[in-house]
Structure 1
Amino acid sequence: MNRAGFGTRLFLASSLVVIGCVATAAVVSVLIAPGLFHEHLQQAGIEEDSGLAAHIEMAFRGTLVPAWGIAALVAVLIALAVSWWLARRVDRSVGALAESAGDIARGRYDTRVDDDAGLGREFADLADAVNELARRLGETESTRRRMLADLGHEMRTPIATINSHLEALEDGVRTADVDTIRVLRAGSQRLARLAEDINAVSRVQEGLDPIRPERTTTGALVTAAVTAASAAYRDAGLDLQVDTDPDIVLTVDPARIGQVLGNLLDNARRHTPRGGSVTLRTVRAGDGVVVTVSDSGEGIDPEHLPHVFDRFYRADTARSSRDGGSGIGLTIVAALVQAHGGTVSAASAGRGTGAVFTVTLPTAGPSEGSANLDA
């Protein structure tokens, strides 16, 4: 059963209201006008049963009824015309909104609602909300597709390595010696880290893990990060230097900023050859804190700098098979820093010159629970 549209029902309702108002006015006029007319005749000293009174009453009725009827008819026509015009505008706008919502439900996230009806702030807010919903769903879908494609690409190498060694074991070409176990374990660990990093960056970018800020100091954050990274730096034969003002107070999520520092130190370690050095430095800058992680490692070519925070991006694709990185660490850094209202950038003079990663954080920090990202 087809139901009438919203605009049609609005027009019918407006028409009934107008007709009801005219009918009410007519009834009230019939009940009140004669009494008032005769009262004025008495005040003028004219007898009600006189010929003059009858002539005046006839003239009054002959003038008032046509005039009132024409005025009522014109008013009704104008009111109906305005109601029809308004109903058409509302019907078109609501129809466009319903069509856009249907397109979004069907996966067309590029659809947008134009607020050209001028129906007021509430409808404009509704149109903006639908457009923002479509935009966010589109970004989420794009992120999902890119992630699936990148994930398939990144999983291919460790899976191929594991399968080749398992086939070699089955065929008797290799034995389950220390080297074979080490390769298999490295492949499984890389897959596990890839899964963890994928989950981490997805939750941060979608705002599923809220930021829980609290007052802390740069000294506490740096100490925790350096302590966690020291063993890996010793094994890699690298010198980890710290130059920090430990007394800078800031409001951040310590666990998340600790993850930022850990990922930056891990990235610097993997890209710095044995015997090199990495420096972690913090300084106050106005109402914020600037954290830099600089290394004496491989450096980054200028054409790669704009992409270092992209998911799975590597300036040297050959490194993916030997450095153990998932390619998402710097993406997590960017997402977490943005969630805190800060910025992150990378700089390098080119290959062989090392790299510097700079994080700027406001000391005031984000509001609790905020993680609104458009990554």
Structure 2
Amino acid sequence: MLWSHLTVVVIGVGVLVIAGRQLGEAFVNDHLSAMGPMMGGQANAMEAAEFEAGVRSSFNRALWWGAGVSAVAAAGAALFAARRLLIPVEEVRTMTRRLAAGAYHERIPLPREAELAALAADVNSLASALDQTEQRRLRLVGEVAHELRTPVATLKGYLEGLLDGVFELDEEILAASIVEATRLERLAADLSILSRVEEGRIDLQTEPCDLRDLITHVTGRLASQFVDNEVSLVVDDLPPLATFVDRDRVIQVLTNIIGNALAYTGPGGSVRITATATANQRVVTVTDTGRGLTNEQLELVFERFYRADRSATGGSGIGLTIARTLARHHGGDLTATSDGLGHGAAFILSLPEVSKGSESSIALDSR
């Protein structure tokens, strides 16, 4: 940067000298021509020539001295400006190296120059985004470890008990072990699906569907669980809900929503399914009489591994996360409402009549 400034200085001084000499000589000649009549009677031609030579020599010396002083002053100013600009640029370079090393919490002080301040602000924004991503990664690792710990510890306890002779290998022990192994399998499968969806590595194989058929399919599969948990399942008369979606993915979304409602509704409670259709949207609402949600929990329930009630059993803790992500990949959404704790909750699935994936079955970009 300093060399570029010095190049500009050299060019400027060169232009000054060349232009000064050309214009100065012309001005001197014009001035001497104007003084000719006055000098004609007072000096001979030799004196006039000496006078002209002296004026030109003085002008040239003044020009070169002025050019030299200007060059020195300009070079000093260029050095100062270059150093002033290079310091924040070097800070940005240092910060990028620190980011590459994982120091996402550090920030660059904003310089006074508007352009450099904008660059520093962009680097700070990048650092903040990387810091948040790293925090989510660490939290996810901790949450996965926590979710794995319980079934692994349970299985280990059963195996140690069998080895020590505390337990006998009977049907009850085998059934309990299968439950824990199934929980591990479900967690691994859900994590795989969530990772693929969020990274845009999942294809939506869309086809014409009526959501009524999908709701009937899901409720039929879950009917025995509602009976076992003594929770009533009510499905209202549904209007035609023709849409264009990935049948298997929407079944997964509905299964997660309805299964979640069942998990948080106690014996004697109920889960109700209603639906509406507009010109370009299909809305399915699953309402339960369970524990309900606070205002803060209305968004938290869609975060990985969040549970409004830690005592609730079953599930991997990311079912609603997967459901919302799949709904949004269809061009729809999944939201929650509640009147508060003890008043149940409602989960509202909205899907467009023609989803984003209906135009192409290529992998969608992650949101």
TM-score range for the pair, normalised by the shorter chain length:
0.7 to 0.9
- 1:118–1:200 CA distance, 2 compared to 1 (3 A): farther
Matched with 2:318 is 328
Q: Does 1:194 align with 2:156?
A: no
Q: How many matched pairs? A: 350
- 1:106–1:222 CA distance, 2 compared to 1 (3 A): farther
Normalised by the size of structure 2, how large is the TM-score? 0.76
SS at match of 2:141: helix
Pick aligned residue for 1:241 from 235, 239, 243? 235
The code of the aligned residue for 2:51 comes to H
Kindly report which structure 2 residues correspond to 1:322-361, keeping only aligned pairs within 5 A, or say none: 324-337=314-327, 340=331, 342=333, 344-351=335-342, 353-360=343-350
Which protein has the larger Cα radius of gyration, Structure 1 or Structure 2?
2
Matched with 2:140 is 147
Distance 2:214 2:156 in 1: 38
Deviations 1:242-291 (A, max 9, x none): 554435768x7766555433311121233345675433333357976543
Distance 1:21 1:183 in 2: 87
Kindly report which structure 2 residues correspond to 1:127-276, keeping only aligned pairs within 5 A, or say none: 127-204=120-197, 207-209=198-200, 220-221=210-211, 223-237=213-227, 238-242=232-236, 244-247=238-241, 257-273=250-266
Kindly report which structure 2 residues correspond to 1:19-34, keeping only aligned pairs within 5 A, or say none: 19-23=10-14, 25-26=16-17, 32=22
- 1:67–1:129 CA distance, 2 compared to 1 (3 A): same
Distance 2:113 2:246 in 1: 44
Q: Which runs of 4+ in 1 moved over 6 A?
A: 41-49, 211-217, 362-368
Matched with 2:291 is 299
* Counterpart contact for 1:236–1:274, Cα < 8 Å: no
Distance 2:250 2:130 in 1: 28
Pick aligned residue for 1:51 from 22, 47, 52? 47
Coordinate RMSD, CA, aligned:
4.0
The code of the aligned residue for 1:239 comes to L
* Counterpart contact for 2:212–2:241, Cα < 8 Å: no
SS at match of 2:136: helix
Percent of aligned positions with the same letter in both sequences? Answer: 29
Matched with 2:101 is 106
Deviations 1:199-251 (A, max 9, x none): 334455xx41267679877x63453354245212234325351554435768x
The code of the aligned residue for 2:297 comes to L
Distance 1:78 1:248 in 2: 79
- 1:155–1:17 CA distance, 2 compared to 1 (3 A): same
Matched with 2:5 is 14
Bigger CA drift: 80-89 or 70-79? 70-79
Distance 2:308 2:96 in 1: 42
* Counterpart contact for 2:196–2:202, Cα < 8 Å: no
Normalised by the size of structure 1, how large is the TM-score? 0.74
SS at match of 1:280: strand
Matched with 1:7 is none
Distance 2:93 2:24 in 1: 54
* Counterpart contact for 1:233–1:240, Cα < 8 Å: no
Distance 1:35 1:23 in 2: 17
SS at match of 1:12: helix
SS at match of 2:312: helix
- 1:140–1:38 CA distance, 2 compared to 1 (3 A): closer
Kindly report which structure 2 residues correspond to 1:86-101, keeping only aligned pairs within 5 A, or say none: 86-101=81-96
Bigger CA drift: 224-233 or 331-340? 331-340
SS at match of 2:108: coil
Distance 1:223 1:49 in 2: 117
Q: Does 1:316 align with 2:317?
A: no
Unaligned 5+ segments in structure 2 are 358-362
Distance 1:256 1:129 in 2: 38
Deviations 1:130-184 (A, max 9, x none): 3333223212211122122222222222112212222233344444433222211
- 1:246–1:95 CA distance, 2 compared to 1 (3 A): farther
What's the CA shift for 1:189? 0.8
Distance 2:70 2:205 in 1: 66
The code of the aligned residue for 1:355 comes to A
Distance 2:12 2:294 in 1: 76
Distance 1:349 1:42 in 2: 100
SS at match of 1:346: strand
Unaligned 5+ segments in structure 1 are 1-9
SS at match of 1:111: coil
The code of the aligned residue for 1:300 comes to G
